[in-house]
Amino acid sequence: MDRELTKEEISRNRRRLLLRICIPVGAVVALGAIGLSLARGSVNRRELFQGTVDTGSIESTIQASGKVVPGFEEIITSPIASRVVEIYGHAGEQVEAGTPLLRLDLEDTEAEINKQRDARQKQVYAIEQQELANATELTNLEMEIKVKEMAVNRLEAEVENEKRLDALGSGTGDRVREAELAYKTGVIQLEQLRSRLENERRMRDAAIKGQRLDLSISDRNLSTKLRTLESARLKSPRAATLTYIVNSLGQQVSAGEKVAVIADLTSFKVDAEISESNSRLLSAGGKASVKVAKNVYPGTVINVSPVANHGAVTFSVVFDDTTAVNLRSGLAADVFVVREVKDDVLRLPIGPYYSRGAGTYELFVERNPGEIEKMEVKLGDAGYNYVEVKSGLRPGDKVVLGDMSAYKGRKYRIKD
């Protein structure tokens, strides 16, 4: 026969039942927390490259690539087709203005100049002969005109005499008419001679001018040849470093072929190119920053090409400090052309995470000490050192700047 349980026994049975239920549930919860913790994983702080969000100014830039080149460089070319007969310098040497660099075989050029000089002298003699012939011919015509003038005067006097005789009854009208006809004929012949003289003067003056023009052309050609001959005695136009020179005696060189290069290696600039689509943002005199290795140098944009070549526009940047000691010719450079300066904006140090320009990114942020969490962040324009933060971050946030593409989770513990 069953007996009725006491209140203490009923309470004791309830406690046992609760323990049987709570212990397994607690174990499951604990195991779940441990599993979640293990699933979340961790990262060593020493492997994190972090930057802190703050407020400041940003130079909004467009990026271009370039190369450090000497501030001055001149290519010396051969003005003639010739042969190298002497070499006076070597690459790397310092040269002064007027220093001979090499000598070309100038025998053919000198022979051609002598030939041109002889031809010019013949032109001078021909002009002198023509001038003498002109003077003789024109003098003869002038004398002939004077003789004709006297003959016309005599015919005019005869007309007057015949008219007087006719008035006195001693002459006839026919004789008067004959005298007048002879006089008029003489006047016409005199005018013909005078017209001929004027035409001869003009024709002979034009001929002389043509000959003198030919002589002037010859003089210019000869002067050009003499300058070519002088420039063929190749010398350094200024004090600089000889960076290249042909090194083979007897080498044949063509007119216009490079034979030497001099450069000023104490100052530098950057020759760069940028996409044609961004070229409208370029202007001579604009500010730029040039990053070479880990150093950044301020500079100014110059020599913007007015035309594009293969979708790119070339330009140069001169350094504000042209003698920076860490620069040398041939170094690769990243050029950041400033297009706008923004003040008092939320900003984040730039890093590999900023890979596709302005837009939305997922970045790991440490807001809770010892933990990083992936957050959606909207970023704007960037300079060479900072990126504008549009939304998703606040001042003081520590953001992982390195490449975190290998981490697929949303939260990680930081191991110090």
In this prediction, what percent of the chain has a pLDDT beyond 70? 89
What is the predicted pLDDT for the residue at 278? 78
- The CA-based dihedral angle spanning residues 57, 62, 67, 72, taken in that order and rounded to the nearest 10 degrees: -80
| pTM beyond 0.85, yes or no | no
Mean pLDDT for the stretch of residues 214-228: 87
* CB-CB contact of 42 with 412 (8 Å): yes
Structure tokens given for 14: 């309830």
CA dist 76 and 79 (Å) reads 9
What are the tokens at 128? 């002198």
pLDDT class of 25 with cuts at 50, 70, 90: low
Q: Is residue 363 a contact partner of residue 400, using CB atoms and an 8 Å limit?
A: yes
8 A C-beta contact, residue 76 and residue 235? no
Residue matched to tokens 């007057």? 160
Q: What is the mean pLDDT of residues 318-344?
A: 82
Residue 364 CA, chain-centre distance (Å), reads: 44
Q: What percent of the chain has pLDDT over 90?
A: 23
Given a cut of 60, is residue 225 above it in pLDDT?
A: yes
Question: How far apart are the C-alpha atoms of 39 and 54, rounded to whole Å?
Answer: 33
| Mean pLDDT for all residues in the chain | 84
Tokens representing residue 270 in the block = 């950057």
Closest of 268, 271, 358 to residue 60, by C-alpha: 358
Query: What is the rounded CA–CA span in Å between residue 276 and residue 271?
Result: 16
pLDDT tens readout for residues 368-402: 888 888 889 999 888 778 899 999 898 989 998 88
Q: When comparing pLDDT for 369 and 26, which is higher? A: 369
